[in-house]
């Protein structure tokens, strides 16, 4: 798969919202922030990734891990209706995912030489969510590894361990909940009690602010799916032998469920995804 370059004609930067069918058509140059803003005018939102400046087509065809909707609605790739492509001989085609699942999977795997010019993705009727970041100076992974799998599908969480020059680290807990504020804070209570909180940005947020949950995070270098997060693994991650910045996403929920049309997302059935940043 090749996405059209971002310095393209205006039609590749177009976003069209259909509030009746609950879908958005996005050109190959469109960023998540563009879709989030356009959909928000109708009280809708896509299964957007963590970086609002990311290209929708590229992020989606490589999976698309949402920091808010993931455990409720799965990966961004699970929510594609159709893909518009141009083949090497210049022929334009519209690939309906439900009619040509093998071609769609090939596009996701990068096994074709077609250029993707647009796609149509699902939208969901959410205006806002309860979420934000808690920053801790103490160790919270032993508590988080037990707490995260107990959350309902309406809650999505990850942690980011930022290494300090002295070998220590600061932990950022990301959390988002699609229900009410009181329910969100009840679910979050065990983590608030796990260690001293030095920063607290939890609260009601519009979906256009989804990028605030991952503010300042670098692009990942490697990712691996984990069936479990053992005590020994936690000790290794927080120990001095692991110098990288680390991110752990709790999976489960709809991340594990097969979409209506099978795609190429790897690691279904894993409990966590570990990503390193250098």
What tens digit of pLDDT does each residue of 2-21 get?
A: 444 444 557 788 999 999 99
What tens digit of pLDDT does each residue of 257-274 get?
A: 887 776 667 778 899 998
Q: Is 56 helix (H, G, I), strand (E, B) or coil?
A: helix
Judgement on whether residues 32 and 83 belong to the same structural domain of the protein: yes
Q: Are 77 and 264 in contact (CB under 8 A)?
A: yes
Judgement on whether residues 61 and 163 belong to the same structural domain of the protein: no
Bridging pattern class, strands 169-177 and 155-163: antiparallel
| pTM of the predicted structure, to 2 decimals | 0.88
Judgement on whether residues 156 and 255 belong to the same structural domain of the protein: yes
> For position 57, what pLDDT does the model report?
92
Judgement on whether residues 59 and 190 belong to the same structural domain of the protein: no
Judgement on whether residues 242 and 260 belong to the same structural domain of the protein: yes
Residue in 121, 125, 127, 124 with CA at minimum distance from that of residue 24 = 121
> For position 115, what pLDDT does the model report?
87
Among 122, 150, 175, give the residue marking a domain's end. Answer: 122
CATH number at residue 107: 3.30.465.10
Bridging pattern class, strands 197-200 and 92-96: unpaired
- Alpha carbon distance 168, 37 (integer Å): 38
The CB-side HSE value for 235 (13 A sphere, CA atoms) comes to 3
Work out the percent of the chain whose per-residue pLDDT is above 90: 51
Judgement on whether residues 116 and 141 belong to the same structural domain of the protein: no
Judgement on whether residues 189 and 263 belong to the same structural domain of the protein: yes
> For position 120, what pLDDT does the model report?
95
> For position 4, what pLDDT does the model report?
46
> For position 264, what pLDDT does the model report?
67
Angle at 120 between CA 94 and CA 177, to 5 degrees: 155
Give the residue-averaged pLDDT of 23-47: 96
Domain span at residue 76 reads: 2-122
> For position 278, what pLDDT does the model report?
67
Bridging pattern class, strands 128-136 and 115-122: unpaired
What tens digit of pLDDT does each residue of 167-196 get?
A: 677 899 999 999 999 999 999 999 999 999
> For position 268, what pLDDT does the model report?
83
How confident is the prediction for the chain on average, in pLDDT? 87
Among 90, 122, 154, give the residue marking a domain's end. Answer: 122
What is the number of domains present in the chain?
2
CATH number at residue 192: 3.40.462.20
Statement: residue 109 has pLDDT above 60: yes
- Alpha carbon distance 122, 64 (integer Å): 13
89 CB-near residues (< 8 Å, 6+ apart): none
Q: Are 179 and 129 in contact (CB under 8 A)?
A: no
Judgement on whether residues 72 and 155 belong to the same structural domain of the protein: no
Give the residue-averaged pLDDT of 32-59: 94
Residue reference for tokens 């209706």: 81
Give the residue-averaged pLDDT of 111-123: 88
- Alpha carbon distance 111, 1 (integer Å): 6
What tens digit of pLDDT does each residue of 191-238 get?
A: 999 999 999 999 999 999 998 888 655 565 788 889 998 888 887 777
> For position 266, what pLDDT does the model report?
74
Helix, strand, coil in percent for the chain, rounding step 5: 30, 30, 40
Judgement on whether residues 26 and 136 belong to the same structural domain of the protein: no
Judgement on whether residues 183 and 48 belong to the same structural domain of the protein: no
> For position 2, what pLDDT does the model report?
41
Judgement on whether residues 272 and 147 belong to the same structural domain of the protein: yes
Statement: residue 154 has pLDDT above 60: yes
């Amino acid at each position: 798969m090749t996405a059209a370059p971002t310095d393209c004609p205006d039609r590749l930067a177009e976003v069209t919202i259909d509030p009746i069918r609950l879908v958005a058509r996005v050109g190959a140059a469109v960023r998540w922030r563009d879709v989030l803003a356009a959909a928000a005018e109708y009280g809708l939102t896509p299964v957007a990734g963590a970086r609002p400046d990311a290209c929708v087509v590229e992020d989606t065809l490589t999976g698309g891990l949402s920091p808010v909707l993931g455990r409720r609605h799965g990966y961004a790739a699970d929510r594609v209706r159709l893909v518009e492509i141009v083949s090497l001989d210049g022929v334009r085609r519209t690939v309906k995912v439900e009619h040509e699942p093998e071609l769609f999977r090939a596009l996701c795997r990068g096994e074709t030489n077609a250029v993707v010019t647009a796609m149509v993705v699902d939208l969901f009727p959410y205006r806002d969510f309860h979420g934000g970041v808690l920053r801790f100076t103490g160790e919270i992974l032993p508590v988080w590894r037990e707490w995260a799998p107990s959350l309902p599908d309406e809650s999505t969480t990850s942690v980011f361990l930022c290494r300090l020059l002295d070998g220590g680290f600061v932990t950022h807990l990301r959390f988002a909940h699609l229900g009410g504020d009181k329910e969100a804070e009840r679910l979050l209570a065990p983590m608030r009690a796990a260690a001293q909180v030095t920063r607290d940005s939890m609260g009601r947020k519009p979906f256009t602010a989804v990028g605030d949950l991952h503010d300042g995070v670098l692009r990942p270098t490697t990712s691996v799916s984990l069936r479990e997060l053992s005590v020994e693994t936690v000790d290794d991650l927080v120990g001095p032998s692991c110098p990288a910045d680390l991110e752990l996403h709790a999976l489960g929920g709809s991340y594990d469920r097969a979409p209506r049309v099978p795609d190429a997302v790897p690691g279904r059935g894993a409990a966590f995804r570990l990503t390193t940043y250098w």
